[in-house]
Chain A
Amino acid sequence: MLSDSEKKRYSRQIRLFGEDGQEKLKRTRVFIAGAGGLGSVISIYMAAAGFGKIRICDCDAVELSNLNRQILHANADVSRPKALSAYETLTGINPEIEVEAEVQTISEDNIDQLLLGSDLIMDAMDNFPVRYLLNRAALKRKIPLFHGAISGYQGQATTIIPGKTACLSCIFPRAPPAATFPALGSTCGIIGSIQVTEAVKYVTGTGKLLENRLLLWDGLNACLDEMACERNSVCRDCSE
């Protein structure tokens, strides 16, 4: 049941998917992998939208060079763990939800414990090796993975539903070479917002998801494009 305060807080989006949809968001437990550029946008919009339980994980501390895009963190947070800064920002935005901060490096060793009880995974990582780990964990648990990635003016997003859509390894069979990437806050804003919109639609059962479609954002030319994808029958992670 929603309290009177919650009904008021979420009144504009209750117009979209009703109190029933809002209650579904409230019951949803989210794991956000990363509290950087994408993680900032994803966690802020998910907290504001009323996803009931958010667990956000990041092993790093805030650096001055993060602040052009990582809007979870302020100048006074430099040198503090990102997850703790995230906890304060998110509970400040919405004290009616539950937030858990994990200052950990996501690995094979702790992924089971980190995902315990989670209904969906938000990909806000900055590298493919951990993304592949999240992908395998999503497949194993049969929970959706909302993928997003950025570099400079460019970004991409897709929604992975185990057993139904192509998985991350079907679409990207191998990781791109590791490199320091340029990052613009507004690109994180666009891609992170798309990921949250997908999660809201998934939970409330509204609209058409980015299933088997890779959305590509080219901010330099202001173009959105998409490519179709399908399950790879010999995928190392999802083929049976």
Chain B
Amino acid sequence: MLIALPDGSRKEITEECARIEDILKQLGINPEEVIVAKNGKIVSEEETAGCSDELKIVRFVHGG
């Protein structure tokens, strides 16, 4: 599974299938601060991702 991290770097992990929430925990990322797209589409952290999926994790902002 290829993961694009909030800092712009990329990481490959070999999980077969995992909950996105668990992947975030494994990466040390607070789920409250990010949104996650699986194959280009925003998904809930309760969804799972498999080895052929691409995840993009983005820190969203709240200022104005």
Contacts A227-B40, A228-B40 given; does A148 touch B35 at CB 8 Å: no
- Asked if B44 is at the interface of the complex by the 8 Å CB criterion, the answer is yes
Instruction: Check B58 against A37 for contact (C-beta < 8 Å).
Output: no
The reply to whether B64 and A176 contact each other, CB–CB distance below 8 Å, is no
Contact indicator A216/B58 (Cβ below 8 Å): yes
Question: Which chain B residue shows the least CB distance to A216?
Answer: B58
Number of interface residues of A (CB under 8 A): 41
B62 touches A149 (CB 8 A): yes
Question: What is the distance, in angstroms, from B4's C-beta to the closest C-beta of chain A?
Answer: 9
Which chain A residues lie closer than 8 Å to B63 at the CB level? 37, 126, 149-151, 181, 183
For the complex, what is the distance from the CA of A92 to the CA of B8, rounded to whole Å?
Answer: 43
Residues of B within 8 A of A (CB): 8, 30, 32-33, 35, 37, 40-42, 44, 56, 58-64
Give chain A nearest CB distance to B9 CB in angstroms.
12
B58 touches A227 (CB 8 A): yes
Q: Which of A22-71 contact B (CB under 8 A)?
A: 34, 36-39
Q: By the criterion CB–CB under 8 Å, are A125 and B41 in contact?
A: no
Q: How many A-B residue pairs have CB under 8 A?
A: 77
Which one of B32, B33, B59, B62 has the greatest number of beta carbons of chain A within 10 Å? B62
Task: Enumerate chain B residues within 8 angstroms of A38, measured Cβ to Cβ.
Answer: 64
> How far apart are B39's CB and chain A's nearest CB, in angstroms?
9
Instruction: Label chain B's interface by main secondary structure.
Output: mixed
In whole angstroms, what is the CA distance A149 to B35 when docked?
Answer: 14
Contact partner of A177 (CB less than 8 A), chosen from B32, B37, B41, B42, is: B32
Asked if A39 and B64 sit within 8 Å, CB to CB, the answer is: yes
Determine the chain A residues whose CB is within 8 A of the CB of B35 once the complex forms: 171-172, 214, 227
Judging by beta carbons under 8 Å apart, are A125 and B61 in contact? no
Partner of A151, one of B32, B44, B62: B62
Q: Report chain A residues within 8 Å CB of B59.
A: 154
| Of B41, B44, B60, the contact of A228 (CB 8 Å cutoff) | B41
Residues B62 and A174 in contact, CB atoms below 8 Å apart: no
Shortest distance between the CB of A39 and any CB in chain B (Å): 7
Chain A residue contacts of B61, Cβ below 8 A: 149-152, 154-156, 176, 181
Residue ID in chain A nearest B59 by CB atoms: A154
